Structure formats: structure tokens, C-alpha cells
Amino acid sequence: MKDECSIAKLGEAILRKKAKKVKNINSKKIQNLIKKMITCVKENKGVGLAAPQIFESYQILVISSHPNERYPNAPLMKDEVLINPEIIKKSKKKVKDWEGCLSIPGIRAKVPRHTKIEVKYTTMEGKTKNVIFEDFIARIFQHEYDHLIGKVYLDRVKDNIDIVSQEQYFKLIS
Ligand SMILES: [Zn+2]
């Protein structure tokens, strides 16, 4: 059987492309894609996933924060699907903290991100929502949003010394 949750790895062209805006949220294709994204983020023990990571160039991301073996300190939050997200406002303050990415296995890095971010997006049901994300959730949002504009978290790293192997990372946080 075909691997349903095949993840695009760094070097795949789709990760460097700007994703398309979703026009018809109610279409079977988009609704099935969203279901698949929720399955895949959990199967891979991620805390977020963007559609281009499963080879679908659409502006859709899932935030699925809960403590798991890849992110033991992640806060528990209900899964949130964000379609065509836009950044409305971001805090001046940025903080560096660890990130990893399913598309870049084996490493972690410290990435500066805005601590607070106001975003506007469309829900799975087609409603427009304005939300303020803070701290770790704001970080997940910024990481996943980058995937929609053809960026990866390594592009945001300030100094190569902030990049470590996943093995070392688990030693550092334990
Ligand atoms: Zn990622």
C-alpha cells in the first residue's frame, strides 16, 4: 500500500514554492486533504503541518500542539486548521527557542520568532477568524506559515551554532 503520509523532505522543489490560495473550501479535494493533514501530523508526532509538506501546494496549515515524544513540553491545545492565513500584526519582541521540522529530520535549531502574532484565516467550515497566538503556539504558526511562502526554519536561524543534531538536542533539554 502507498504510504499515505509521505513527507516532502528538504530539497523537494515544492517546499520552496509559494502555496496556492484555497478557493473552494467545501470541495471534496480540500476537505479530504485537511483530514489527511490531521492524520499525518499525528502519525509523525508533529505539532504542526503545512500542506506543501505532504506534496499539496495549498495555503493550509494544521496546528496540533500536545506533549509527545518529539515535543515533550508542547502545550495541549485542540487541533486548529487554518486556511489562507494572513499575518495582521506581530510583536516587536522576538525570542529564540528550539524548533524541528518533519521535512528536515535529524536536526533541531534555535530560531528567533515573534512572541505574539495576530492572524486572520478561514476555518474548515468557511468562517473567517481573527486570533492572537502567543509563545509556543505563535512559534508553531510562524514555522508552518513559512512553509506556505516557500521558507523553512533554517532560513530564519541567525547563527549556524544554533543548529544541533536531534540526538544532542534531547541531551540538552533533559
Ligand atoms: Zn516544518
> What does pLDDT average to over the chain?
94
| Residue ranges with CB less than 5 Å from ion ligand 1 | 101
Q: Which helix (H) or strand (E) holds 24?
A: none
- The one-letter amino acid code at 65 reads S
CB 53 within 8 A of CB 102: yes
Measure 72 CA to ligand 1 centroid, in angstroms.
17
pLDDT tens digit sequence for 94-134: 999 999 999 999 999 999 999 999 999 999 999 999 999 99
77-92 pLDDT, tens digit per residue, is 899 999 999 999 999 9
What's the rounded Cα separation, in Å, for the pair 30 and 22? 8
Q: What is the pLDDT of residues 53-80, one digit of tens each?
A: 999 999 999 999 888 888 888 888 899 9
Ligand 1 centroid to residue 25 C-alpha, Å: 23
Q: Which residues participate in catalysis according to the annotation?
A: 144
Map out the domains of the chain with their CATH numbers.
13-173 (3.90.45.10)
Cite the DSSP H helix spans in the chain: 28-43, 135-148, 166-173
pTM score, two decimals?
Answer: 0.94
Tell me which residue of 73, 50, 38 sits closest to 143, measured CA to CA.
50
Cα(10) to centroid(ligand 1), Å: 10
Instruction: For residue 100, report the distance from its CA to the centre of ligand 1, in Å.
Output: 7
88: nearest Cα among 131, 53, 122, 145: 131
